[in-house]
Amino acid sequence: MTGGRRPGAEDDDGERDGRERCCDEEQTGAHEFSVDDFYNRPVDPRPIGVFDSGMGGLTVLHECLVTLPHEDFVYLGDAARLPYGPRPLAELRRFSREVAGYLERQGVKLIVAACNSATSAALPELQAELEVPIVGVLTPEAHAAVQATRNRHVGLLATQATVASGRYEELVRTLDAGVRLFSVACPRLVPLIESDDPFGAATVDAVREYAGPLKRADADTVILGCTHYPLIRPILQRVFGRDVTLVFSAEETAREVTETLARKRIENERAREGAYRFVTTGDPASFRTMGARFLQLPIAEVERVAVTELERAA
């Protein structure tokens, strides 16, 4: 992947002085943006790493590609060990550490944990262990839901692991202790969404079943706590009705990635067109076929990496 200088490269003394001045101002909190800042800002051409247990994280990647068309991305789907949702939290922490460690060794500048189960189980540990920043999908969703709710009754549809972790409850309570969160585990949804008929009667019936407790709780805002769920958003919106706000991670996470890159001054050249590539621990042909449904963009080639290589990266 190409584009831009190495971060920290200095062309002349004036540019160096300008950067040192920016750093001093950031430390004191007194910084006024100038034209010189725009032209002299650091450029970091390294790609952004994105991972999920399989295909669902491609909904997040799609939004990142649209929001940050000048950035490069590498997506890793751990399809050999999916689904993550029903697994114990300790096992998810180990898997997440291995995948994130592999991406860090690939030279990424930021990692997006585009998996609600992995974020719930492992994000604090990953933030403490990794050298590069990592963004999860829970905090952006929780913040958006707290902002959106009118009656302070928020619903959550998620995997068993995400519900069991209690992370959404912690985040929502921190943001607004008066908001009540009603959580429903949805073990049938991911297999249905990945089936040959994701919009069939079985999916509609499952959505109605899982939506029932949230409707009875009068939730006016529902967090779609799995990156698969946006694919069936029309069914979810039909069952809940237009008055219920659906919050999902793709748009909110892409916004947080954008803000993180700008805040840490590790953006790529804005005038370029970024590239993206795919890696999976599963079958590349299956990933290519199923992945196009989630990404809604062409997938030309998919590389395969062995699980043992991920284990060594941890």
User: What tens digit of pLDDT does each residue of 266-300 get?
Assistant: 999 999 999 999 999 999 999 999 999 999 998 98
- Let me know if 115 is a catalytic residue: yes
Given 22, 64, 115, 186, the catalytic residue: 115
Q: What is the mean pLDDT of each run of 10 residues along the chain (314 residues)?
A: 43 47 46 50 91 93 96 97 90 96 97 95 95 94 96 97 94 97 96 93 98 98 94 96 93 92 95 96 94 92 96 84
Given 22, 64, 186, 226, the catalytic residue: 226
DSSP per residue, the chain:
---SPPTT---SHHHHHHHHHHHHHHHHT-----HHHHHH-----PPEEEEESSSTTHHHHHHHHHH-TTS-EEEEE-GGG---TTS-HHHHHHHHHHHHHHHHHTT-SEEEE--HHHHHHHHHHHHHH-SS-EEESHHHHHHHHHHH-SSSEEEEEE-HHHHHHTHHHHHHHHH-TT-EEEEEE-TTHHHHHTSS-TTSHHHHHHHHHHHHHHHHTT-SEEEEESTTGGGGHHHHHHHH-TTSEEEEHHHHHHHHHHHHHHHHT----TTS---EEEEESS-HHHHHHHHHHHH-S----EEE--HHHHHHH-
In the chain, the percentage of residues whose pLDDT exceeds 70 is: 87
CATH number of this structure's domain 48-136+252-313: 3.40.50.1860
CATH number of this structure's domain 139-249: 3.40.50.1860
User: What tens digit of pLDDT does each residue of 190-212 get?
Assistant: 999 989 999 999 999 999 999 99
Tell me whether the CATH fold assigned to 48-136+252-313 matches the one assigned to 139-249: yes
- Let me know if 64 is a catalytic residue: no
Residue spans of the domains in the chain: they are 48-136+252-313, 139-249
